[in-house]
Amino acid sequence: MSRRTLLTLAAAVLSGAASLSGAFAAERSPVHAAGEPTKTLRLGTFEKLDLITAYYRSDAFARRLAVLQVQREAAVLLENKAEVERIEKQGAALQELAHKQLAGQAPATEVMDYLKPYFAEVAKAAEVHVIVDGVLFKDSAVQQVDVTDLLVQKLPPARHAPETR
C-alpha cells in the first residue's frame, strides 16, 4: 500500500468520514482486473471504556495521586489552608473527570496522551496500519483488528501496599 493511500486514509479517518472506501479509490477500483489482488488495510480499533478503566486503575495514575497526597500533607504540615483547599479541589476535579469519562460525557484526553508513545509499538505488534477510536463503516478492503488488550498492557495496575492486621 502506498504512502499516499495511507495518508489519504488517515485523513479520512481523522476527519470523521463515514466511508473509508474513498481512501482506496486510487488503488482499488470496484471493477478489478482478472487476477488482480485486492489490497487489505488492517485497521486497529479499541474499546475506549476499557482503556479509561485501566488508566484509573494503573500505576501511572496511582503515582499521580500519590504526588497530590504528598503535596496535601506538606501543605497541612505548613498550615497552608489555601494550598490544602487548592489540592483538595484538584483531587475532586480529577474524580469528577473520571466519572464523566466513564459515562462518556468527557473526552479521554489524558488517557490517550499517556498511551500516545505506545501507539506505534502496538500497531507494529498487531500488524495494523492505523489505530482509530471507532469505525462507522468499513468496506471489504479493511480488516478490523481489536488492539484493546495490547494497549491495556501499557497500563499495568497499581501495586497496593499489603494490608496490615
Picking from 80-84, 132-136, 142-146, which range would have the lowest pLDDT averaged per residue? 132-136
Helix (H, G, I), strand (E, B) or coil at 157: strand
Domain that holds residue 10: 3-152
pLDDT band at 144 (very low <50, low <70, confident <90, very high): very high
Q: CB 152: neighbour CB atoms within 10 A?
A: 20
In a domain, 158, yes or no: no
Any domain includes 159: no
**Model pLDDT, residue 38:** 67
Phi, psi of 58 (to 5 degrees): -85, 160
Cβ partners under 8 Å of residue 18, min gap 6: 136, 137
In a domain, 164, yes or no: no
Q: How confident is the model at residue 27 (pLDDT cuts 50, 70, 90)?
A: very low
Residue 30: per-residue pLDDT: 44
Q: What is the per-residue pLDDT for 159?
A: 83
Distance CA 23, CA 48 (A): 25
pLDDT band at 22 (very low <50, low <70, confident <90, very high): very low
C-alpha cell at 127: 500488524
Does residue 71 form part of some domain?
Answer: yes
User: Residue range 128-135: average pLDDT?
Assistant: 93
| Helix and strand counts by DSSP (H, E) for the chain | 7, 3
Higher pLDDT, 116 or 32: 116
Q: Which residues contact 96 (CB under 8 A, 6 or more apart)?
A: none
Say yes or no to pLDDT of 19 above 60.
no
Three-state DSSP at 131 gives strand
Banded model confidence at residue 89, pLDDT cuts 50, 70, 90: very high
pLDDT of residue 153: 97
In a domain, 109, yes or no: yes
The pTM of this model reads 0.71
- Average pLDDT of every residue of the chain: 83
pLDDT band at 24 (very low <50, low <70, confident <90, very high): very low
* Percent of the chain whose pLDDT exceeds 70: 73
Within a domain: 132 = yes
Report the DSSP beta bridge partners of residue 157. Answer: 58
> Is 162 among the domain residues?
no
Q: What is the mean pLDDT of residues 140-165?
A: 84
Classify residue 160: in a domain, yes or no: no
Count of structural domains within the chain: 1
